[in-house]
Structure 1
Amino acid sequence: MKVIDFNLPIKQLADQYDDFVPLMVELGFTKIKIPGMLESVGRLVNLNKGCRAMGIDKDKVVATFRDHGFEVINHDN
């Protein structure tokens, strides 16, 4: 099963799942497409921090990943 842990760095999730980055862009995390952003900031920022920084509703993120077959954990932080 594919698992999205909101406490893991975004880079780690992107490396693990091919469909992660396209879903992130669809959710509004458009900066992830900026060259070097995933390699730099993505190593430090997790989804909990990313949602806060970008002002994106975590419930929407959780629902989208679940709709695409992911189990979502640690999103209540």
Structure 2
Amino acid sequence: MRKQIDITKSVYEICTENPDVIEIMKSLGFESITNPGMLNTAGRFMTISKGAAMKNISMDKIKEEFAKKGYDIK
């Protein structure tokens, strides 16, 4: 069964529920997500969509990578 990611949640919430998301996000270019301080501060209000816009990473690329790892984005 595939796991679901709700992209309206904060990055902190998503990573707390699914710790393996940290490595997926890192591989997409969100290197600072591996810093616990950053995850606990900025991650509490940052969403994947906001982060993608800031880093200029397409949501299609993010959805594709999550799909490869067994996740559906809702």
Superposition TM-score, scaled by structure 2 size: 0.91
- The runs of 4+ residues in structure 1 deviating greater than 3 Å are none
1:1-77 pair list within 5 angstroms:
1-73=2-74
CA distance in structure 2 between the partners assigned to 1:57 and 1:38 by the alignment = 21
Q: Secondary structure at the match of 1:7?
A: coil
* Count of paired positions: 73
Structure 2 unaligned spans of 5+: none
Please report the RMSD computed on the Cα atoms of aligned residues, expressed in angstroms: 1.1
CA shift, 1:18, in A, is 2.1
Percent identical residues: 30
CA distance in structure 1 between the partners assigned to 2:67 and 2:17 by the alignment = 16
Structure 1 unaligned spans of 5+: none
Superposition TM-score, scaled by structure 1 size: 0.87
CA distance in structure 1 between the partners assigned to 2:38 and 2:70 by the alignment = 26
